[in-house]
């Protein structure tokens, strides 16, 4: 019997994921400048033309890495927030914050990678700036959609609350690097959930007051 062959598109996707995985591991450990294309190809078990055919250049691969890591986090947040539709707003917010905390604590190499990339290439790489802008835009829209799902689409200024949340989460990434186990860092997570709940509650009350004759 003739053996089944993996379709070309599936093989190409598997190769792309393998290259991305190698880039995440190596760049998180050594930075962008410290990671050579030769090392990337060896780790991913591909030749240079294959890497370039998928990403165009090492810089193009870097932009793809930013989106790969950022999107994996956003996907987990979306799943966590939508998992229990019966829970009240406060509990759903706490659940989403817990997912982010676990992501930081269990996969610190991915967060270290985002910090390294931002510091090392954020000012000079158009690919990195573009990828980070797309990641942040998706993160903000994800949070806005989650808040609208909880409080309704009539509530105003949720984008400002979402930007505030993203800023706090980015600070949490930094704190995880230099102060991971302090009591203040632990309390910060509870404070984040309260901040979101209070901000959302304030907007809901304002909307209700505007509708009161």
Residue 73 tokens read as 């986090």
In this prediction, what percent of the chain has a pLDDT beyond 90?
Answer: 19
For the whole model, what pTM was predicted? 0.76
Residue scoring higher pLDDT (82 or 164): 164
In this prediction, what percent of the chain has a pLDDT beyond 70?
Answer: 91
pLDDT tens digits, 117-154: 877 787 777 888 888 888 888 888 888 888 888 788 88
pLDDT tens digits, 31-74: 888 999 999 999 999 999 999 999 999 989 988 998 888 888 88
């Amino acid at each position: 019997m003739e053996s089944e062959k993996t379709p070309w598109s599936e093989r190409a996707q598997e190769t792309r994921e393998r290259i991305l995985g190698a880039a995440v591991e190596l760049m998180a450990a050594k930075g962008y400048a410290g990671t050579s294309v030769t090392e990337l190809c060896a780790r991913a078990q591909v030749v240079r033309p294959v890497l370039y055919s998928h990403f165009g250049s090492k810089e193009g691969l870097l932009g793809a890495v930013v989106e790969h890591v950022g999107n994996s986090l956003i996907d987990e947040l979306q799943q966590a927030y939508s998992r229990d539709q019966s829970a009240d707003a406060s509990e759903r917010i706490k659940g989403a914050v817990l997912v982010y905390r676990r992501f930081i604590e269990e996969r610190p190499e991915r967060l270290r990678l985002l910090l390294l990339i931002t510091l090392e290439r954020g000012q000079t790489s158009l690919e990195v700036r573009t990828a980070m802008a797309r990641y942040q835009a998706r993160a903000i829209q994800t949070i806005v959609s989650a808040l609208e799902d909880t409080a309704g689409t009539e509530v105003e200024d949720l984008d400002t609350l979402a930007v505030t949340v993203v800023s706090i989460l980015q600070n949490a990434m930094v704190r995880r690097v230099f102060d991971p186990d302090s009591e203040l860092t632990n309390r910060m997570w509870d404070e984040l959930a309260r901040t979101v709940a209070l901000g959302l509650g304030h907007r809901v009350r304002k909307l209700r007051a505007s509708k009161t004759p």
